[in-house]
A and B are shown apart, each in its own frame.
Chain A
Amino acid sequence: MSDIVISVRNLTKRFGNFTAVNDISFDVYRGEIFGFLGANGAGKTTAMRMLSGLSYPTSGSGTVAGFDIMREGEMIKRHIGYMSQRFSLYNNLTVAENITLFAGIYGLSKQTTEERRDQLLAQLKFSSERDTLVGALPLGWKQKLAFAIAGVHSPEVVFLDEPTGGVDPVTRRQFWEMIYEAAEGGTTIFVTTHYMDEAEYCSRVSIMVDGEVRALNTPTRLKQQFNAGSMDEVFRSLARDAIRGELLI
């Protein structure tokens, strides 16, 4: 667990007077499932967008997959996968066409694309749906497909922004099985979630409050540290102090 994939120092993002992300520093190791928790508006998505080359930090530094987040955004993009909070595959393309599109975008050759596509379809047990328009799939299936596509080019890190929002418990479980499988294959998973049972599945968890990382450790250690029975209680005790965002009861 010494191989660092993401390293962030004093990362800050301001929008005018509003500091969305305030001076955060942490490291993520290869093959980890890194849970990135926080209440709505805590700055999770902003931080994740900076790590994935979608937005420039106001100050601070960091590397992702060995590339600088300030200067080498496009290089980072070659080595990461990203699954947005909003479903963002093409609804009017079929399952197979979406896979082909994104594989091609990451520069996979036509032949590799076809092999990879069949492999993914088999993995997802989607072979019968290969020619179904993505827009017609149920939400849980869409999310599984989006995750598979985020990893189509075998990236070093996959960023997942609330991947299981609105997904039923059975599909959620399958989704996490996919995450484990990917992590065992050496892919680092950086995941935000609001489900505290999911936080328990993570190798390590960080909790953001008001743009700052207030806690970072393994779920077991965090529970000890906050003298709590579950991650849910850990989260509540931290988020209670939040000034901005939704109030949690």
Chain B
Amino acid sequence: MRPFVVLLQKEFIKLGRDSFLPKLIIILPILIMLFAPLLVTMDVRNVKVAVVDLDHSTTSHRIMSHISAAEDLILYRATAEFELAMRDLEDGNVDIIVQIPKRFERDMTLSTPQKISIMANAVNATKGSMGTQYIAQTIARALTEVSNEKSMERMPELITVQNRFNPTLNYSHFMIPALMIIIFILVCGFLPGLSIVEEKEMGTIEQINVSPVNRFHFTLSKLIPYWLIGIFALFISMLIVKFVYKLSPTGSVGTIYFGAFLFILTISGLSLTIANFSDTLQQLMFVLFFFIMIFIMMSGLLTPIDSMPKWAQIITYALPPRYFIDILRSVYLKGTTIAEQWENFVALGAFSVIFNILAAITYKKQA
């Protein structure tokens, strides 16, 4: 045990002497959790609308007042000239044109009134489609109001929508748990590999290789400090999420820590494996970046896996972050227990075993 104890001591002493790393370990989770949720929002805000009102009725005015009152819509122009609105759309002053046809109010009493048309600039597809939805809902609400006032019988509400698990449909609540993964990838994915390659570049690894050190001891001494740091970073992030975003896990905190531990094991094992094959910092960084790009794009962090093409969906099963992101989201938002999502834990557990064994056996003391 003595060789392992001194190796581990060495890692901690080196970390403590580093002028930059200990600060980074504290600052990184804080920065990511404070700012990233604000940046990755998919909520569409400030949709600018031009209304071409050819009707000039109380109904059309009602529609316009609803639009200007809506939180995410801005009534940029109300005009009777379509050309003017179209020029605004072309110049990028507005995102959406709503055209209310002539005699709309009068025809409403008939069975088939002329249709209101909505035209959206869909260059930004998300803003286009979300904006159109907002407008359609807003207009529908205005029209229901108008017809309820006119007729004696109340129009029944045909559809009710209930958003389970994230009642306010807050996109950041969906993103925050998943964003924690970026911290683990940075801290536990990069640092162990860097520490190995640093020893290669400094030449110190040769002094280790020529000694009878057990390679499992050496590998473990490189991993343990970063496991602890990863858990510490999770602790900081969860505090920020709780106090800044008022979001606490619905499920058990223990489940999150357990999942995080498995993920940290996996990613640090992967990092060491890559480092064992890299002789220089450049090689290590290039290969790590390749994996991390794939992790971030394909594991459901930013876009749902279900909307990916079939072949891509199959690949995601080979990506450890996929399972951890699922765990984070379902525990935070739905309160899922380990038993209910045992597949995720088994998959992560398997990955952590594979990558750490790989890290130990690819570390060659002899060439």
Cβ B202 vs Cβ A88 within 8 A: yes
What is the 8 Å Cβ interface bit string for chain B, positions 91-109, against chain A (1 contact, 0 not)?
A: 0000000000000000000
Cβ A101 vs Cβ B366 within 8 A: no
Cβ B210 vs Cβ A78 within 8 A: no
What is the 8 Å Cβ interface bit string for chain B, positions 202-220, against chain A (1 contact, 0 not)?
A: 1110111111110000000
In the assembled complex, the Cα of A97 lies from the Cα of B204 at a distance in Å of 14
- Tell which of A27-35, A53-61, A237-245 binds the partner: A53-61
Cβ A53 vs Cβ B204 within 8 A: no
- A: contact size bracket: 20 to 34
A110 within 8 A of B: yes
Query: Which residues of B approach A to under 8 Å, CB–CB?
Result: 2-3, 5-7, 9-10, 13-14, 17-18, 202-204, 206-213, 365-367
Cβ A54 vs Cβ B210 within 8 A: yes
Q: How far is the CB of B321 from chain A (nearest CB, A)?
A: 33
Known: A77-B211, A92-B14. A105 touches B6 (CB 8 A): yes
Interchain residue pairs with CB less than 8 A apart (13):
A54-B365, A54-B366, A55-B366, A84-B203, A90-B204, A92-B17, A92-B18, A101-B6, A101-B7, A101-B9, A103-B6, A104-B5, A105-B212
Per DSSP, chain B at the interface is helix
Query: Which residues of A approach B to under 8 Å, CB–CB?
Result: 52-56, 73-75, 77-78, 80, 82, 84, 86-93, 97, 100-110, 133
Beyond A74-B212, A92-B14, A105-B211, 4 additional contacts (C-beta under 8 Å) are A56-B367, A74-B365, A103-B6, A107-B3
In the assembled complex, the Cα of A108 lies from the Cα of B212 at a distance in Å of 12
Cβ B13 vs Cβ A93 within 8 A: yes
In the assembled complex, the Cα of A108 lies from the Cα of B17 at a distance in Å of 25
Cβ B203 vs Cβ A104 within 8 A: no
Instruction: List A contacts of B3 (CB < 8 A).
Output: 104-107
Q: Which 7 A-B pairs have the closest CB atoms?
A: A104-B6, A86-B203, A82-B210, A88-B207, A88-B203, A77-B212, A78-B212
Q: How far is the CB of A66 from chain B (nearest CB, A)?
A: 15
